[in-house]
Chains A and B, each alone.
Chain A
Amino acid sequence: MLYAGSSVKPARARMTENTKPLAVRCKGLIKVYTTRHQEMVVAVNHLDLEVHAGECFGLLGPNGAGKTTTVEILEGLLAPTAGEVELFGKTWEKDERFLRERLGISLQHTHLPERLTVRETVELFRSFFTQGRDVDETIDLVALKDKEKARYETLSGGQRQRLAVACALVGNPALLFLDEPTTGLDPQSRRMLWEVVLAFKRQGGSVLLTTHYMDEAERLCDRVGVIDHGQMIALGTPKELIESLGGQQIVEFTVEGADEEVNLDALSTLPSVHSARWHTGRPASRGAAGALGTRGRRRAQAHRAVDPPCHPRRRIRQFDRKAAS
């Protein structure tokens, strides 16, 4: 996997830890499963985690790293094998009802009732909370007003995911859990969801989300924890993490379908991108090639995108020279 085992000091955490209460605090979290074949699997291995109030924290890692298990333990849906979990200073054992009223949860791959319309679904979830948002306001928030009367079964993947987030927001939570909210979504749906999360954060909400994508973490998260084999292997702001993985890089990637253009302006405005440009007609690449200077994970994406016969490093150097001329 591409995440380096470097540990970055959580600068922001130190600054704020005595002034604001913690939304999430877990210490020494362990989860051991026994499989059908009586094998012991350690899904979470001595994990410590803190999310500050008003912060968006991202858990980044490959499939099977233990992200979902960690989140489900924090959500009170799984019992940990060992370790302490506190949300707003409360525990699941003592204050389940208090916590349920204050949490908004979007699980990984949930199916909402197929035959219910968007509005009916939001109304159903609203009815469980003693206090919450207005149903219309929530539907507006996730931009599903025009789909209000459509049944869940007819919605696209992006719309379903937005509805799932609406169900998480309708209780007006103080803390939002989003487990891979944008996996498998098209770019436009991802951006729409990002807007929803950013708006929630602006209102002072805390967020804990899991993702595969560094760009998502970069865009949404104040701090990111990289998790692999159930352990936190890196922790810091997205910028710190990217810098820790090496200096400036040039990344090249191919776009499938030559006539589909990449929005270069959008790429250039990403926080860690310095510049982006088109490069077409390269013999070794299929279709058009776009290039941008960036750091960290993008390098890996580029590695995967270039054609196998050509060694990735040589490729990037070669491009670097050209860009300099």
Chain B
Amino acid sequence: MNNARLTAIRELVLTRWRTFYREPGTMFWTFGLPVVLSIALGMAFRNQEPEPLPAAVQEGPQAEHVREVLAKSKDIAIKVLSPEAAHQALRTGKVHVVVIPSSSGDGKVTYRFDPTRPDSRLARTLVDDALQRGEGRPDVVQTATQHVTEPGSRYIDFLIPGLVGMGLMSSGLWGIGFALAEMRTRKLLKRLIATPMHKSDFMLSFLLVRAALLTIELPPLLVFSYFAFKVGINGSVITLTLIALLGALVFAGMGLLFASRSENPQIVSGLINVATFPMYLCSGVFFSTARFPEWTQPFIKLLPLTALIDGLRAVMIDGAGILQLTSPLLVLSVWGLLCFAGALKLFKWH
């Protein structure tokens, strides 16, 4: 490759870069949004003292006595409600269990709760336990408790790698797919092809800028989450960069593929939305993929975003090395190869 080629690549890269940073919107979507999201979600799901479970006692002759017994438990927030109010509170989830003391004075109580709600079942057990002990039931087995709060087990530790993966996906797809579609509509692609420009230089400039953007895209979120939430990186930064780079390239290739034919940016944005929506939902950005039914798991594991986020989490939370990442790396590589091969075959220059 001679000097002229390098000059052309440099000019193309500069063009991409200038187009990027002179667009005020892109700066926010790339740098601002992940930070804003991590603040909002980090606050909403921050770890704190376990909240007492709300429960109600239905009004009646024994109600005050039951309330006094249950009020001693730290795990239960108890209040006395009329039968209608208690029923309403249970239905809307404001209390998890309603204790109905017998009106005949025989000391019998009825628990009213929804057994399909885990919180309800837990509240019933806690209320029953507190009531039985309060009335003098002895513990037959000696027990001790040990509390665990390990770093890496909090929601924010789970969330940050998810946000990193999501950011890589959207900047790859939009930054490349949409930009290319727009260049085609505006006949800029045609104009460039009418020069002696090498097509490979043009493509390369997109990938180079994508890779370069990674180095300024990732640090703000990682540094912010380290200082704000003490989210650290347990594995090596190099491994993390490698997997992020691979992910960025896979989504760049997918953007290229989506933009390879269409004359219309609206169609490309539709394609991108259709592709990204299931991944936002299923790939474990905000909550674990394990929550989806068993039969969906193999499909979810094969999504590129799932592989990327699994890889990022393995490095950031578990400190995994490159050798423990074979499965996500393999999935990503296959996606990358498929997308680039498809884009090269389908890409229409004019």
Where chain B touches its partner, the secondary structure class is helix
Selected interface stretch from A7-15, A97-105, A187-195, A292-300: A97-105
- Residues of chain B lying within 8 A (CB to CB) of residue A120: 14-15, 18
Task: Knowing A111-B188, A120-B18, A124-B11 are in contact, say whether A75-B194 is a contact too (CB < 8 A).
Answer: yes
**A3 interface contact, C-beta 8 A:** no
**A148 interface contact, C-beta 8 A:** no
Is A100 in contact with B18, judged by CB distance below 8 angstroms? no
**A145 interface contact, C-beta 8 A:** no
CB distance from B295 to the nearest CB of A (A): 42
Task: Knowing A105-B194, A125-B195, A128-B195 are in contact, say whether A111-B187 is a contact too (CB < 8 A).
Answer: yes
**B190 interface contact, C-beta 8 A:** yes
**B44 interface contact, C-beta 8 A:** no
Is B193 in contact with A77, judged by CB distance below 8 angstroms? yes
Give Cα A100 to B350, complex, Å.
15
Q: Of B15, B19, B191, which is within 8 A of A107 by CB?
A: B191
Give Cα A97 to B12, complex, Å.
19
Task: Knowing A115-B23, A120-B18 are in contact, say whether A171-B190 is a contact too (CB < 8 A).
Answer: no
Is A116 in contact with B11, judged by CB distance below 8 angstroms? no
- Residues of chain B lying within 8 A (CB to CB) of residue A123: 11
Is B15 in contact with A113, judged by CB distance below 8 angstroms? yes
- State which size class the interface on B falls in: 20 to 34
Give Cα A125 to B193, complex, Å.
11
**B7 interface contact, C-beta 8 A:** yes
Task: Knowing A110-B187, A120-B15 are in contact, say whether A129-B196 is a contact too (CB < 8 A).
Answer: yes
**Of all chain A residues, which has the CB nearest B349?**
A77
Is A107 in contact with B195, judged by CB distance below 8 angstroms? no
Is A110 in contact with B22, judged by CB distance below 8 angstroms? no
- Residues of chain A lying within 8 A (CB to CB) of residue B12: 124, 127
**A18 interface contact, C-beta 8 A:** no
| Residues 188-217 of chain B, each 1 if its beta carbon lies under 8 Å from chain A, else 0 | 101111111100000000000000000000
Task: Knowing A113-B19, A116-B19 are in contact, say whether A128-B190 is a contact too (CB < 8 A).
Answer: no
Residues of A within 8 A of B (CB): 75-78, 97, 100-101, 103, 105, 107, 109-116, 120, 123-125, 127-130, 151, 167, 171
Apart from A116-B18, A171-B195: 4 A-B pairs, beta carbons within 8 A: A105-B194, A110-B186, A113-B18, A129-B195
